[in-house]
Each structure stands twice: as C-alpha cells, then as structure tokens.
Structure 1
Amino acid sequence: MKKYHLLLTVLFIAINAITAFAQKDTTTASKIDEYLQPYLDMDAWSGLISIYKHGEPIFQKAYGYADREWKIPNTKDTKFRIASISKLFTEVAILKLVEEDAISLSDPLSKFIIDYPRGTEITIRQLLNHRAGIPHLNNFPNYNDLIKYDYDINEIIELFKNKPLDYDPGERYRYSNSGYVLLAYIIEKVSQATYGDYLQKEILNPLGLANTGIDNNSEILQKRANGYMFNSSGDLVNADFVNMSIKIGGGSMYSTAGDLNLFLQGLFRKKVIDSTLNELPNFIEIEGEQAFQASGRVQGFCHQITHRFSSELTVMVLGNHYSNLALPISDDIYNIYTGKPYSIPENYLSQETQLPVEELKVYEGNYDFGFGPIRKLKVKGNSLTYGALDLESADALIPLGGNRFFYIQYWVILEFSDMENGRFKTLEWVMGKNRFPANRVIN
C-alpha cells in the first residue's frame, strides 16, 4: 500500500510539473506573439524565432512571408542568407588550420600574398579580430555598384589591396569585411581547395549541416527566403540585388535555424576545433554573464544569435527584412522567456510630426560614431536626410518631436542633444536598449 501511495505521489508531482511547464510554454508563446504583432502590423519584420535549451528547441515559430508576392510563409526550415554569421564559419576554418599546424595566428599576411602592401605587419590574428586596418569594402563610395558584379577572390582583393590602411595594424578595432576576404584567400591557398569545398568537407559534412552552404545567386535553392527592405522613401520593397561573390569569407552563406543550432552545439562540444576555441571573437559578457554572440545583416536580411552559458539558453532571431531589429527583438525575447521586464514596440509611424525647414536646419551637420564613414545630416526639400559624407544618396528621416527622428530603413531612433551655438553636438543611434553616440565634427 505504501508503494502504491508513493507511486501516486510521484505521478502527481510529475503531472503538475508537466502542466506547469506547458502553461509556461503557452504563456511564453502568447507573450512573444503579442510582442511581435506591432512589428508585423507595420511590415517592419518577418522571420523565425527559436529558443533552445541545452541545444534542444523549446520554442520555434515562423512569422510573415518568405515570399510576399506569392504569400509563401516562413517556416522553421526556411533558408536565410545569414550575412556576417558566415564569418563564424571562416573563423572556425582558420582555427582548424591552426590546430593542424598548417598556419599560425602570428603568421604575417605577406606569407600568403607576398606583395601585399605592409603585409609583413599584418597578422592572421589581427585579420580575425578586425584589427588589421584593412579598409572595409562596404564603406567604399562605389560599393552599391560593386555588389552588382561577379568576382573571383583575387579580383575582390584587388579592389582594396592598394588602398591605404585605415590605421596601423594592431592599433585599434574597426570592422572589416575585406579582412575576411583575405582570410578566405588564406584558407584556399593553404588547403588547396576552394573556400566552399573546404567548409563542406571539414565543417558542414562532419556536423551534418545539410541545409547550409555558399549562397550562389544563380542556384535554384529550395525553401530560400526572399529579402525585403524599406527604400529611401520608407516604402517596403524587394531588397537590392547583391552578387554574393563579393561577400566571400565574411557574408556569403545561407543556412537554417536548425543547422545553425547544430553548428553552435558542435562548437561548444569541441567537435570541430578544440584548443583554439577561445580564440573565437564571439565570446562576450552580457551583464556579467558569459555569452556567445553572432549577428549578420545584408540587404534584405538581419539576424542575431545569443547563447548564455550559465542557463545554456540560445535565442536565435533570423529575419528576411533589412530593418535593424534582430538585436532588440533578441533581447526582448530573452526577457520574455526569463520573466524580465520588456516593452511592447511603439508605432513610431503614428508619432510623425511636421517641422518647418528652418527648424530642421539646426540638426544639420557631420557626425562621427568612431567607426565607419562620417555621417552627413542635411535638409533636402522638406526633409532631414541621413547618409554617408561622401555619398549623394541619403534617406529621409521622420521627425517625432523632442529632438528625435525615426529612421525607418533601420528602424532606429536618432536622438540629438547638447545644443551649442545653434547646433547639436551629439547624436545617438538608439536601437532598443542599445545606444551608440556620435559627436558632431567641424565641417
């Protein structure tokens, strides 16, 4: 009889635990739906939300369309162009070659490209950590023209090889896709295989990543998502064309949520690299907690992956929209799941105000964020516009009042402060809880 009562007690506890978990799961799902709905209503985001615990999916739901014209919905198997998350594959490939003693992180670039200017001063480690001073291709004034054409890897290197370094190697950090083109070249030269073939043989096949590969524009790829973006007038359109050949090493791959989770678990369990794992630049701290983070953004797509080690929780946001929402969505999804405070997104479009041209002019000026090109804010027609200093193209900003403007193409707020002599000294790029300040520079 005692055994019978004990069995009933254990069964009762188990049923209640399962019920509580199911209720939490249902509550989490409804809160995530409620949170994302404003973005969906405003056509500001579409994609897939995945939460993994110890590598196992505990929440996964797709939102919006993979193809808006045919109204084909996103699914958990949708293939996304993963942009700079591709860099993680390049990093692992380089570190695998290091572990095989084929290269060293201290090897100079000149060992692989003999005539590269200042190549004796630039190391593989500096390229890996964006500290080599190689000019970032995306900042070139003619970049929007360059991305239309097909290149081999040597032709891409020639685009930036003879340009002056942005700074002395090792002096500072500045993000550079060009540096990762050079890493892809090193992989090819050392392995005597193409970049794609090396990844396939040494990383994708061993980890069983059947839905990951090099994104080839001409290939017919099943379940590939189309990308979308807001144009300079704020209208939702198909994303600008990018020939993915120029993205080799730093942004040329596609994948699915399932494959990316397998990849992460393979990394953390040291199935591909071992002793060099901590050389990956993706290890960070978030509010004192050790984490691993990867993100990517390319025309039509924006993604964020964050894994927290203490809870073994991974939040993955894959989106086929160019808006810069992956990071704030990722932060808020984590807060929803863990019961922390979060806010329902605002409808900034409903807050638009009208400012006369003479009032808009006090916001004009050039602003330096300390990375990338200097940004120019200038009144054109009846709008304040935002663009790179050396480019004619610029996007119109939506005034919200209170020295705040909405930048719909990136879905961020620009805030101005510190008025001096009739001009603002400080501009902040506000993306969720993240703020990036820029100082006004003398014209």
Structure 2
Amino acid sequence: MLLCAYNLNAQNTKSITAEIDEYLNSAHKAYKFNGVALVYHKNELLLNKGYGYSQIAEKVPNSTETKFPILSITKTITASIILKLQDEKKLSVKDKLNKYFPEYPNGSKISIHHLITHSSGIYNYTTDVGIEDSILVNNPVSKDFVVNYFKDKPLGFKPGKYYSYNNSGYFLLGLIIEKVTGKQYETVVREYLFEPFKMSNSGFDFNGLPKNEKAQGYQFWNQKETISYKHYDSTFAYSAGSIYSTSSDLLQWAKVVSNKQFLKPKTWELAFKPKIRNYGYGWEISKYFDKKYIKHSGGYPGFMSELIYYPNDELIIILLNNYGTYEQNVWAIGMGITSIVLGMPYDKWTIRNDNKVEVSKMQKHVGQYKSGKGRLEIKLVDDNLFLALPNSPDMRLLPENENQYFLDNFNTRFDFNNGKLVLHEHGKNIEYIKQN
C-alpha cells in the first residue's frame, strides 16, 4: 500500500513537472521568458532548468549554473541583515537616520523603519538615471558620490505618510550596516548569509565575472532582432540591488526564509507583516486567488528576477530572466506556475499578432471603466489603445480584432461589448462597466 501511494505521488510529481516545463516552453517561444526557472514544493524540487541562451551569439544555453543579477531581490537580504542586527540589539528600526549620519538633511525625521518600508520620502536616485548615464551607471562610483546625488534634494512627502518605492533608502541601509558592524556591506552579507548557508555561487561584481559563467541581458525587438544591454556597475546599486546568484543559491536563501532560520521567528513575522500598502520589511505581501504569497521582484533593462514564496502551500518559485525591459512581467509567469502546482486555471502563452484596427472602431472603447475590483481607463494614443492604471505607466493593448485586445506581457485578454469590458486573466473573469 505504501509503495503504491509512493508511485502515485511520483507519477503526479512527474506530470506536474512536465506541465510546468510545457508552460515555460510556451512562454519562451512567445518571447516572454529566457532564463532559468526553479520550482520547489513541499520539500521536493519539481524543476530547475534553463530556457534559451545565456549568450545568444555564441549559442551558450542557460543552465542551473548560470549566474544572473538578482537586482532588487537584494533588498530582501539587506532588510534581513538590518533585522538581524536588531535581534542582536545592535540597532533598532526605530533609530533615526541622524544617529548614524548626524549631518543628513531631515535625519531626525527619518527612521530605519521608513527606509525599509519605502516610506521615507527621500528622493529616489534611480528615478531619472538611465542606462546612458555612464558616470553613475557604467563605472565604479563611491558611496559618497551616490549619496551626494540625492541627499540634498527635498523630501517628496512627510516620512511615513506614503509608500513610494525607493532605492536611496536601501542604499542608506547598506551604509548603516557598515556603520554598525565596522565592516563592508559585502563582507557582512558573505559572513552572515553566503558562507553559513552555502551560497557559494553568489556575489556582487557581476560585470567582473567571466563571460562563460553569466547571462547577458537582452531585449527582443519585433520578435526578430536582439539588443544586448551592458549591466550597471555593482557599486551603483550597492545594497539596493548589487547581488548576483544562481537559481540553486537563491533556493538556499528561500529555504532560510521559509524555515525561519537566521532571524528569530517573531522577527520573521514582523518582516512578513504589511507596514504600509502591502510592503513589510523587505518583502511584498499579497494574495493570488486566496493563496497568500511573500515575494520580491527585480528589474533592469535586459534582466528580470522574481522570488515568490507561498508559506501556507510550501511553494517556492524562482525566475531569473535575461530578456526583457521594465514592461516584461515575469510575475505573470510565476502566477501561471502557481496555478499548475496548486491546481488552478491558467492560460498558456502564445505569440500575439499586432493586427490593424480602424481608429474609429477603437475610439468607441475609450473611457473610464468600473468594477468591484476598482477602476481603469482605456486611452487612444497615436492610433493605439492603452490601459491606464494609477501609479503605473500606460500599457499598450494589442488588437486581435476590433473588440478583442491583449495586454501581451501579462497574458491578459480584454473583451469589449456594448459598454462592458470583460478582463480575462489567470482563469478569472472580471466585468467592468463603462462610465458615461
């Protein structure tokens, strides 16, 4: 009987793994995923596999050993070290910034809590910095140089009043870690996490890695051409986003988190409790259907990263993508994988055609729409329909025909019909009514 149950479970696992693999292949063929995916469920590794190339010209395949920048997933590590120092009674999240930097403008108003929760109001130094800004991005820069870039700019709001994603706050957290420990941030991360938890393929100087060990970042254009991006220097991102890793090493970190190691159990509970909007101490907390997840994303031209943990379902999903821009949505791929593992509806990825529709026929869909889930707006700009949401850039809708459109990077379908809009996403249908 036990052997029979084991065989059935093994067959079920094999079937789920095959389904995930088929789904990721569909995403790869639709130019939505090119990288490494890892899925770990109830102490079992379902999948750890590369898709596409790490170096396209040389046709080097992505593999589980390929190193990727994890980008803002770095923030989960920075925040956790701050909390570890609090566990060790070396600091408090209530400490004000001026305790560590007496001359910092408004330092008496800004706490470590504000820095971790993106609620400080400090100017975000990456707001107007693009990949063409070679002085800040493409060359080594001192910490003082970066801090001087943002510290004297006025606060955007009273600390604690709003959430506004902020790399400057996490840059300052790295400096606080150095002040408290008397060691370099990179040294502290290695001693506290990389070495004890055997993350031997993780580090900081991504650009300094041998070419054959790492992924090159790309953007696919018109599903034909590729544009390669130079990754920013690690000193520019520092404690806000400088770490590189592999899927297997990130699983080690995710296990630390899921097993509530490193920090006290109550401290992990504190980290996973939303403080402002849906952000805790270094983690975003939300739900997919009724499934609670804890996650962090990362993004920069050429790379996207995602670490998703479902505590109640014992599910970890890691996605490292070396293809994309800020418009790419690796999170949507993660939700598809979630649906497969947990038995919920999902849609495979397909290549969408950019069909032509007369402007007059698109014009009738323009307007404000409302549902029980909230509001959205459909705009017509330069003969194209766009979805407009609060606090997000407008996103173009690809026309299938005059009444059906796709938000391609989210795998979401929009059906317009006589003043109604039905949004189809991840197996769910949400009806919106056009407002006159």
Interval of TM-score (by shorter of Structure 1 and Structure 2): 0.7 to 0.9
1:242-274 alpha-carbon deviations (Å, 9 max, x no partner)? 323211111111111211111122234343221
The runs of 5 or more residues in structure 1 that have no matched partner are: 1-12, 366-376, 388-393, 421-425, 436-443
Q: How does 1:32-111 map to 2 (within 5 A)?
A: 32-111=20-99
Report the Cα offset of residue 206 of structure 1. 1.4
What is the CA–CA distance in structure 1 between the aligned matches of 2:223 and 2:179, rounded to whole Å?
44
Give the 3-state SS of the residue equivalent to 1:101 in structure 2: coil
Contact conserved, 1:55 with 1:261, CA < 8 A, in 2?
Answer: no
**One-letter amino acid of the structure 2 residue matched with residue 137 of structure 1:** Y
What is the CA–CA distance in structure 2 between the aligned matches of 1:285 and 1:81, rounded to whole Å?
24
Rg: which structure is higher? 1
**One-letter amino acid of the structure 1 residue matched with residue 172 of structure 2:** L
**One-letter amino acid of the structure 2 residue matched with residue 206 of structure 1:** P
Report the Cα offset of residue 37 of structure 1. 3.0
TM-score between both structures, scaled by the size of structure 2: 0.79
Q: Decide whether aligned partners of structure 1 residues 305 and 141 sit closer, same or farther in structure 2, where only a CA change above 3 A counts.
A: closer
**One-letter amino acid of the structure 2 residue matched with residue 14 of structure 1:** L
RMSD: 4.0
Q: Does 1:279 align with 2:279?
A: no
What is the CA–CA distance in structure 2 between the aligned matches of 1:32 and 1:312, rounded to whole Å?
17
**One-letter amino acid of the structure 2 residue matched with residue 278 of structure 1:** E
What is the CA–CA distance in structure 2 between the aligned matches of 1:142 and 1:208, rounded to whole Å?
35
The runs of 5 or more residues in structure 2 that have no matched partner are: 272-279, 368-378, 389-393, 430-436
Q: Decide whether aligned partners of structure 1 residues 51 and 210 sit closer, same or farther in structure 2, where only a CA change above 3 A counts.
A: same
**One-letter amino acid of the structure 2 residue matched with residue 228 of structure 1:** Y
Contact conserved, 1:239 with 1:299, CA < 8 A, in 2?
Answer: no
What is the CA–CA distance in structure 1 between the aligned matches of 2:413 and 2:137, rounded to whole Å?
28
Q: Which of 30, 49, 52 is the equivalent residue of 2:18?
A: 30
Identity among equivalent positions (%) equals: 27
What is the CA–CA distance in structure 2 between the aligned matches of 1:290 and 1:185, rounded to whole Å?
33
Q: How does 1:33-432 map to 2 (within 5 A)?
A: 33-140=21-128, 144-145=132-133, 146-220=136-210, 223-231=213-221, 236-244=225-233, 245-274=235-264, 275-280=266-271, 281=280, 282=283, 284-286=285-287, 287-322=289-324, 324-349=328-353, 352-355=354-357, 398-402=398-402
Report the Cα offset of residue 289 of structure 1. 4.3
Contact conserved, 1:106 with 1:125, CA < 8 A, in 2?
Answer: yes
1:354-388 alpha-carbon deviations (Å, 9 max, x no partner)? 246788899999xxxxxxxxxxx8956x778999x
Give the 3-state SS of the residue equivalent to 2:213 in structure 1: coil
What is the CA–CA distance in structure 1 between the aligned matches of 2:348 and 2:143, rounded to whole Å?
45
Aligned length: 407
Report the Cα offset of residue 67 of structure 1. 1.5
**One-letter amino acid of the structure 2 residue matched with residue 104 of structure 1:** S
**One-letter amino acid of the structure 1 residue matched with residue 208 of structure 2:** S
What is the CA–CA distance in structure 1 between the aligned matches of 2:128 and 2:257, rounded to whole Å?
34
Q: Decide whether aligned partners of structure 1 residues 357 and 312 sit closer, same or farther in structure 2, where only a CA change above 3 A counts.
A: closer
**One-letter amino acid of the structure 1 residue matched with residue 83 of structure 2:** L
TM-score between both structures, scaled by the size of structure 1: 0.78
**One-letter amino acid of the structure 2 residue matched with residue 249 of structure 1:** S
Q: Decide whether aligned partners of structure 1 residues 205 and 147 sit closer, same or farther in structure 2, where only a CA change above 3 A counts.
A: same
